[in-house]
Amino acid sequence: MLRKRLFAWTYPSLSARHEALVEERKRALFRRALALRPKRVLEIGPGPGPNLAYLTPGLEYLALEPNPFFHPELQRKAEAQGLRLSLLLGRAEAIPLPAEGVDLVVGTLVLCSVEDPIKAVAEVHRVLRPGGAFLFLEHVAAPSGPYRLLQEVATPLFAFFGDGCHPNRETLALIRARFPRVEVEAFTLPLPVVAPHVAGLAFKEG
């Protein structure tokens, strides 16, 4: 619990730096997702809530966040943004919602941190309605080579100090394995170890 509290205290400044680097991309991605007219949006691992600003006031917003020290900030931001918030304490590997009840799932910088990303992606797919979309932005493993080797070596340190973050995950392959249609862009940010990033929308069949 001390590590969780410490992460919730230190992460917002890191998040703000990261946000400045991805803001334009996220804005375009959320615009595209909101054009699908979702009414019920679930976010897995929202942390301090950098994505709430991209959501339209009045939406039903379910925030599944296992770290309770992020909850007060999520509450504050949801209120400021005019979202109808339900805070859920739980994990993406076992989303406490029935199947096919959500129009849009959002997950940014979270599949690197969950304990079991295969289960988490399967759960995202389960709770989405047919034709629903998963908006993702993640850093993923580099192709094999010296940079990938660095990621392998750095992963235990990142996992310990970064609340379970794994720079060596092949997350895009996991998303592609579960979703029949994935629109994705890969890009590199001026950050050490965590490169490349991928961002896009994955659509459930139906």
Ligand X SMILES: C[S@@+](CC[C@H](N)C(=O)[O-])C[C@H]1O[C@@H](n2cnc3c(N)ncnc32)[C@H](O)[C@@H]1O
- Report the interface residues with ligand X, using CB under 6 A: 15, 44-47, 50, 64-67, 70, 91-93, 108-110, 113-115, 163-164
- The tally of CA atoms less than 13 A away on the side-chain side of residue 105 is 33
What is the spatial distance between Cα 76 and Cα 34, in angstroms, rounded to a whole number?
Answer: 22
| Distance in Å, CB of 20 to ligand X, minimum | 12
User: Is-cis flag, bond preceding 12, omega within 30?
Assistant: no
What is the spatial distance between Cα 22 and Cα 17, in angstroms, rounded to a whole number?
Answer: 9
Our CB check for ligand X shows the closer of 159 and 182 to be 159
| Distance in Å, CB of 15 to ligand X, minimum | 4
| Distance in Å, CB of 92 to ligand X, minimum | 4
Our CB check for ligand X shows the closer of 9 and 206 to be 9
What is the spatial distance between Cα 69 and Cα 48, in angstroms, rounded to a whole number?
Answer: 9
Our CB check for ligand X shows the closer of 76 and 181 to be 76
Could you give the residue ranges of the DSSP H alpha helices within 35-165? 71-81, 117-127, 146-161
Our CB check for ligand X shows the closer of 22 and 142 to be 22
| Distance in Å, CB of 145 to ligand X, minimum | 25
